[in-house]
Structure 1
Amino acid sequence: MVALVSQENVVALVSRTGRHLQRYNQGRRQVVGCIPYRYKIDDSNSLDIEDMVEVLVISSQKGKGMLFPKGGWELDETKIQAASRETLEEAGVRGTIEAELGEWTFKSRTHDTEYEGYMFPLLVREELDFWPEKTFRQRKWVSVANARECCQHWWMKEALEVLVNRLASQQELDEEEE
């Protein structure tokens, strides 16, 4: 018996490595990432967007603490492709990437260099059982409030605020249309 597997559901279980394709702008390494999110299914009927949404955080490879998936933007990919790839490699989720949340310049905690970071929201459609960094990272769905507490990077927290404000504004528009 032969089983046919769709290529779009196959994930290479190896992360891209190396920095030879990394993008730089004025000496700053460019990194991209996503804030994976989903709407909770609950019976509370809360209209507060923060009660309706959960975000996915992952453990840091280099230390303690949690963060959102992010990594290097490479020369052979768009920002969105890089954000999607990094999120799949580090968090094992796929979904719909929405409009960019912003750009942040920040200093590395371990190197004396500056980075340019770009973040996107990713509405999760699929959560994989196996992904490239599964053995290196933990992933955890948390409330927005919990993400504010546990996320170790100030710029990612700012991106989270942009996302929450955007979702709240969209919710208000949807309610007005009804």
Structure 2
Amino acid sequence: MNGADIAHSKYILVDDARFLQIGALVYRIKNENLEFLLITSRGSGRWIIPKGWPIPKKSFSQAVLQEAFEEAGVRGVVETFPIGTYEYEKLNLPVEKNSKFCVYVFAVLYSYQEKKWPEQSQRMYEWVTVSEAVKRVNEPQLKEILLRYKPC
């Protein structure tokens, strides 16, 4: 999979049990230090990266940039290939719904933040160091991605 691939459906099964989502690891270099942008989820308020469903007829790269904008107001440059994947489960879904997800993470070099964006009033955001990001996110595989990532 790469960022140029076009989604033909919003709901794509990675295998028999997990839905594919795309995530934006938004980063910047400030005072020679790598920082990541984390946002809060709308439901539980836990710290996550911007993520969501593929968008039919758009490339995964386009969808990643749209999620970064809708959830955090971010504009940036996305890398072509995913830098990793992580899995998570939503515990608040009915038993008959598929609650397992596999997120393909794309790095996004931060350019700027819009003054207004769709989910601005629904989420908090914060720029944090690598070590702080690792403390805040829950998913072990996402922690590994944060620790491993080195910008080009």
Q: Judge same fold: TM > 0.5, yes or no.
A: yes
* 2:36 alignment partner in structure 1: 55
**Equivalents in 1 of 2:48, 2:88: separation in Å?**
15
**Equivalents in 2 of 1:136, 1:62: separation in Å?**
9
Of 103, 110, 113, the match for 1:127: 113
Greater CA radius of gyration, 1 or 2?
Answer: 1
Q: Deviations over 1:14-41 (max 9, x none)?
A: xxxxxxx522213532110111111112
Alignment of 1:70 with 2:51, yes or no, is yes
Unaligned runs of 5+ in 2: 1-8
Q: Deviations over 1:118-156 (max 9, x none)?
A: 001111011111111001011111111110111133332
Amino acid at match of 1:23: Y
**Equivalents in 1 of 2:38, 2:86: separation in Å?**
19
**Equivalents in 1 of 2:140, 2:34: separation in Å?**
20
SS at match of 1:120: strand
* 1:33 alignment partner in structure 2: 23
Amino acid at match of 2:31: I
**Equivalents in 1 of 2:29, 2:46: separation in Å?**
24
* 1:96 alignment partner in structure 2: 77
**Equivalents in 2 of 1:124, 1:109: separation in Å?**
31
* 1:84 alignment partner in structure 2: 65
* 2:4 alignment partner in structure 1: none
* 1:138 alignment partner in structure 2: 124
Task: Using the TM superposition, give the Cα deviation of residue 158 of structure 1 relative to its aligned residue in structure 2, in angstroms.
Answer: 2.4
Aligned sequence identity (%)? 28
Q: Deviations over 1:38-73 (max 9, x none)?
A: 11126xxxxxxxxx1111111110013211100111
Which structure has more strand as a fraction of its residues? 2
Alignment of 1:107 with 2:89, yes or no, is yes
Which structure has more helix as a fraction of its residues? 1
Amino acid at match of 1:145: S
SS at match of 1:161: helix
Alignment of 1:151 with 2:137, yes or no, is yes
Contact 1:37 1:123 (C-alpha < 8 Å) held by counterparts: yes
Unaligned runs of 5+ in 1: 1-20, 43-51, 171-178
**Equivalents in 1 of 2:146, 2:54: separation in Å?**
20
Contact 2:21 2:53 (C-alpha < 8 Å) held by counterparts: yes
**Equivalents in 2 of 1:29, 1:75: separation in Å?**
15
Task: Using the TM superposition, give the Cα deviation of residue 81 of structure 1 relative to its aligned residue in structure 2, in angstroms.
Answer: 1.2
